[in-house]
Structure 1
Amino acid sequence: MNDSSKTSKYSQAVADFPVHRPRPAGAELALQGIRVVDFTHYIAGPLATMIMADMGADVVKIEAPGRGDDFRQYPPMIPEFGGGAPWLWCNRNKRSITLDLKSPEGLAQARALIAKADVVVENFSTGVMERFGLGYEACREYNPALIYCSVSAYGREGAFSDRLGFDPIAQAESGFISMNGYVDREGVRALSPVMDISTAMMTSNAILGALVSRARTGKGQAVEVALFDNALLMTGYASLQQTFTGREPQRPGNTSPDSCPSGVFTAKDRSFLINCGNTQIFQRLLTQVLDMPDVAANPAYATNKDRLGKRDEIFALLQNEFSKQPFEYWHARMLKASVPCGVLRTVGEAVRSPEAREREMLTRIPHPELGWVPNMSLPIRYSDTPLADPVVAARVGEHTEKVFADWLGYDEERIQGLAEAGAFGRSAAVAG
């Protein structure tokens, strides 16, 4: 099956996803008026700038002429997107321009845009922006109020600053992989790029903090977020547990090493997970869901510490009961008893679930050629400054002419002159 035919799969799902509801007319945007020059690629940087774009910032993505961001090549490729479906996921609401930073003309225009910007975000290898003359110290000379954010693998200074890093490497070196999976086999990486995603969240958060500081002091500053640093944070409180006890976390599979019973059980028809995070929930599970008051009263199960020591015994007891009825039977009883539970879903089931539809997390948005495309929203809700209406990710250089007209006031003749001089790439045609 070629990539074009794959697009038909989502076109059959009109009933699955609601149409995006436009934001109220006239409502302000949280980052209205903030200008961002985006030199990022792949996931962590672009997702961070997309969060800002969704909040209303004017994010201008600088791409290499021709190919653009390498993340455009991640499958499935869809010609109408100018890239693959993953590209749409983290580049919504931005404008794309092309600049040849190896040409004097392209570099000069990058500086001109930075001079007008509130924020610059970059995640090149360490030293690349400095070699272009676009490092923080150079940029602050002509834009002292600039917030300049660098996203790196291991930091911009020190013994490891020149190392490349990707999400799976960060998962491995942070200890995250060692914590996940089953004790009788090697640790397992998360398929979702959790380190890139959480680094993006941390990056956007750091930039917002710097903007708040600038509003108070008038001063710009450099901001840095390292993938490895963030990955260590993503190991959660296990890091301090290990520090205090000297013991490494043991891979628990789908159970919890800290509370019991928490894990996966199988009803007559399908599997589900429950999480009894405290003794009160355990008591409600036994008395109100399973009708086992004698077990609930057993002093051997009185505390969480007691239950952790008898996990296998408790799990066998619960599994025997859960296997007697279908999940919906147990689900209704657990909801009524306020016992946290959830069915094990596939991704396809999750994005089409009643919960996702209720929250309008995945909706349909317009596309000029395909009619519509699916769109995954941010999990942010503002009462007074709702997020921007989603606009599908741009093709390479789609907004070059418009950005230079808007930001720098260039007329068509000057833009054409820059194109002929190679500022946008030797063979690049200027797009509106």
Structure 2
Amino acid sequence: MHAVLLERPAFVDVSIQEALATLSMTELTKAGMGGGGWSRERLTDGNGATVCILPAKDGYAAISPREDHQWTAWLEAMGSPAWGDDPRFATKPDRVQNWDALHALMSEWSREIGKQDIADLAQNAHVPSFPLKEPAEHLESPQLASRAAFRTSKTAENSFKTIGDPFKIELFEGDPPPQRIPTGPLPLSGIRVLDFSWVIAGPTATRYLAAMGAEVIKVEAPGRGDPGRASDLHTVLGQAKRGIVLNLKQPEALEVARRLVRKSDILIENYATGVMDRLGLGVEDLRKINPNLVYISASGMGREGPDAKAVAYGTLLQCFSGFAGLNRHPETPPRVGMAWLDPMCGLKLAFIAAASIWRRRRCGGGARVDFSMVEAMLWTMAEPLIQCQRAENVAPQGNRSPVYWPHGIYPLQGADAWIGLVITNDEQWRRFCERTPGLAPYKQKSASERRELKAEIEPIILESISKQSLKNIDKILSDLGISVAKLATTQGLANSPHLRARGFWDAFEAGHLPGLPWRADFPCAVGGAPGLGEHTDAVMKSVLGMPEADIAALRDGGAFG
């Protein structure tokens, strides 16, 4: 986009390491600001008071009654058990502190109920919950069928269904494309984004749009604003944005929002389905006042279909899709895992937004984008979806590979020190056996034979590697031509000379924040995250041309909280 606008080549350097690192944004930010890292030892399934998995009569269900009102509703959905009044579970910090006891009590109830029934009870109480499904169960999903989410791919012998684009797009007629596109120092210079999104997925998308030069106006409610402010999320995802507060319960504030829409190019929101329509800010209302608007909605299941109103969080959809069931060791129950779907969706949303602007510049008109997070999740799972259609075994493998052996994570000498080891051919294996005491009898074994004998071979490898330091094992294996990598900690990434040299970390007065997973021959917009409502007055003046007296009157009337 930038190269075409400037009529010259552009250079962009994308780092896979940095792209993956940004999926752990909260942990990275904590390390960059001088905080301690989290332990990687998982004795339980993380912070169960936020999201957890419960055993069911026929599998598992995931629930997330993280807010106080959701917890109250969840207790009622369970039939108001007597232990619900136990002071150990009165507040969220109490529930975190006494999680093992609480999980045991909930599990005693849930084991007698089907997984879909648990999810239905919760959803009817407006508590986010989904059953853990196998990938194959999604192939006949009424929700996915109603959205025409699947595409059919054909081979010489068979045809298979996989997820196509995880969004639906509707194009609107509007003004013709501009005769001249204004250029600026950044790809999205001159583009204004009205950002009604919150928490992770939407703010991640608008973070990238802001970095590419768009003027992002973050709209928050009075009071606590975006829940991301309660952690380090807003500190990094709010960078280079302007922040305003609008009390959308006030008609005057809604009129301000509509006036901002007239002056904007993109609107992005990820509220629950129906919220924007009830406010009079739905796509059909706003396209009447700005037919060139790119209106992007992101939701768990998509805005249309029989499950459109299901309340969802990204971690729950990781469970629902079948990913959590596969992303584990075979001998352990499913775990929620880190919240990586949200930032991944943010990347895709940013791409869609930029592509929509590119299309508008060439063809004119606006667009509506209906993005489904569960479809995005299943989009990443093409292989297990195809495997189950071929009647192949789809099962968790832990750190194993169906092709290579050894293939896994091994502990080293010292605290929380690990390496990833992969041997990809028999010659590497023979060299490894010659260097490792005790492996000589297995030197001529093939990968399949080694896998069959893993109960004998694995302890020998563990004993040998666990006595080595990272420096020693790295040199030994590198000299043998064997792929090996240190498992980085967030503190290690914060102090990485490589990432520092690449400029991945942005320096601020309070410390360092993780930057963008790309480098380019054009700059990126930088700036701190806004305070709650920090730019309300400035935006009213600069964007809407509003006199100070009108701003004061709106504030006195409660439009700004």
| Structure 2: runs of 5 or more not aligned | 1-28, 36-182
1:375 to 491, 513, 516: 513
Give the secondary structure class of the aligned counterpart of 1:137.
Answer: helix
Q: Deviation of residue 193 (structure 1)?
A: 1.3
Between 137-146 and 305-314, the greater mean CA deviation after superposition? 305-314
The separation in 2 between residues aligned to 1:221 and 1:123, in whole angstroms, is 16
Judged with a 3 Å threshold, the aligned counterparts in structure 2 of structure 1 residues 96 and 354 are, in CA distance, closer, same or farther, namely same
Residue 159 (1) aligns with residue 306 (2): yes
Structure 2 residue identity aligned to 1:395: G
Structure 1 residue identity aligned to 2:427: Q
Residue by residue over 1:399-428, the C-alpha shift from the partner in whole angstroms, topping out at 9 and shown as x without a partner, is 011112221222322322322333212xxx
The separation in 1 between residues aligned to 2:389 and 2:419, in whole angstroms, is 30
2:346 to 200, 203, 209: 200
Structure 1 residue identity aligned to 2:548: E
Residue in 1 that maps onto 2:556: 420
Residue 244 (1) aligns with residue 406 (2): no
Residue 287 (1) aligns with residue 444 (2): no
Give the secondary structure class of the aligned counterpart of 2:354.
Answer: helix
The separation in 2 between residues aligned to 1:56 and 1:196, in whole angstroms, is 23
Judged with a 3 Å threshold, the aligned counterparts in structure 2 of structure 1 residues 189 and 128 are, in CA distance, closer, same or farther, namely same
Contact 2:221/2:246 (<8 A) preserved: yes
Judged with a 3 Å threshold, the aligned counterparts in structure 2 of structure 1 residues 337 and 364 are, in CA distance, closer, same or farther, namely farther
The alignment yields a C-alpha RMSD, in angstroms, of 3.1
Judged with a 3 Å threshold, the aligned counterparts in structure 2 of structure 1 residues 214 and 332 are, in CA distance, closer, same or farther, namely same
Structure 2 residue identity aligned to 1:67: R
Q: Deviation of residue 397 (structure 1)?
A: 0.6
2:503 to 349, 360, 374: 360
Give the secondary structure class of the aligned counterpart of 1:374.
Answer: strand
Contact 1:261/1:314 (<8 A) preserved: no
Judged with a 3 Å threshold, the aligned counterparts in structure 2 of structure 1 residues 324 and 107 are, in CA distance, closer, same or farther, namely closer
Residue in 2 that maps onto 1:339: 482
Contact 1:199/1:226 (<8 A) preserved: no
Q: Deviation of residue 246 (structure 1)?
A: 3.9
Judged with a 3 Å threshold, the aligned counterparts in structure 2 of structure 1 residues 230 and 353 are, in CA distance, closer, same or farther, namely same
Contact 2:421/2:484 (<8 A) preserved: yes
Residue 387 (1) aligns with residue 512 (2): no
Give the secondary structure class of the aligned counterpart of 1:60.
Answer: strand
Judged with a 3 Å threshold, the aligned counterparts in structure 2 of structure 1 residues 378 and 8 are, in CA distance, closer, same or farther, namely closer
Give the secondary structure class of the aligned counterpart of 1:237.
Answer: helix
| Residues 253-268 of structure 1 mapped to structure 2, 5 A cutoff | 253-268=398-413
Give the secondary structure class of the aligned counterpart of 2:360.
Answer: helix
Residue by residue over 1:344-383, the C-alpha shift from the partner in whole angstroms, topping out at 9 and shown as x without a partner, is 34332332233433333334213xxxxx243111212112
Matched length: 384
Judged with a 3 Å threshold, the aligned counterparts in structure 2 of structure 1 residues 268 and 178 are, in CA distance, closer, same or farther, namely same
Q: Deviation of residue 204 (structure 1)?
A: 1.0
Residue in 1 that maps onto 2:319: 172
Residue 233 (1) aligns with residue 369 (2): no
Judged with a 3 Å threshold, the aligned counterparts in structure 2 of structure 1 residues 88 and 419 are, in CA distance, closer, same or farther, namely same
The separation in 2 between residues aligned to 1:127 and 1:197, in whole angstroms, is 23
Contact 1:288/1:333 (<8 A) preserved: no
Give the secondary structure class of the aligned counterpart of 1:256.
Answer: coil
Give the secondary structure class of the aligned counterpart of 2:519.
Answer: coil
Judged with a 3 Å threshold, the aligned counterparts in structure 2 of structure 1 residues 152 and 307 are, in CA distance, closer, same or farther, namely same
1:42 to 199, 207, 211: 199
Residue in 1 that maps onto 2:369: 223
| Residues 272-311 of structure 1 mapped to structure 2, 5 A cutoff | 272-276=418-422, 278-279=424-425, 283-284=427-428, 286-287=430-431, 291=435, 300-301=445-446, 308-311=451-454
| Structure 1: runs of 5 or more not aligned | 1-6, 14-25, 74-83, 367-371, 426-432
Structure 1 residue identity aligned to 2:406: P
The separation in 1 between residues aligned to 2:33 and 2:241, in whole angstroms, is 24
Residue by residue over 1:268-321, the C-alpha shift from the partner in whole angstroms, topping out at 9 and shown as x without a partner, is 446433353743xx63464389648x97996632xx555544544554454454
Residue in 1 that maps onto 2:188: 31
1:406 to 542, 558, 561: 542
The separation in 2 between residues aligned to 1:357 and 1:288, in whole angstroms, is 34
Contact 2:294/2:356 (<8 A) preserved: yes
Q: Deviation of residue 170 (structure 1)?
A: 0.8
The separation in 2 between residues aligned to 1:290 and 1:267, in whole angstroms, is 20
Deviating 4+ runs (over 6 angstroms)? 7-13, 294-297
Residue 149 (1) aligns with residue 287 (2): no
Residue by residue over 1:192-231, the C-alpha shift from the partner in whole angstroms, topping out at 9 and shown as x without a partner, is 3111111111111111221121122112111122221122
Contact 1:202/1:225 (<8 A) preserved: no
Q: Deviation of residue 35 (structure 1)?
A: 0.4
Give the secondary structure class of the aligned counterpart of 2:485.
Answer: strand
Contact 1:149/1:222 (<8 A) preserved: yes
The separation in 2 between residues aligned to 1:68 and 1:267, in whole angstroms, is 44
State the percentage of identical aligned residues.
Answer: 30
Q: Deviation of residue 327 (structure 1)?
A: 2.4
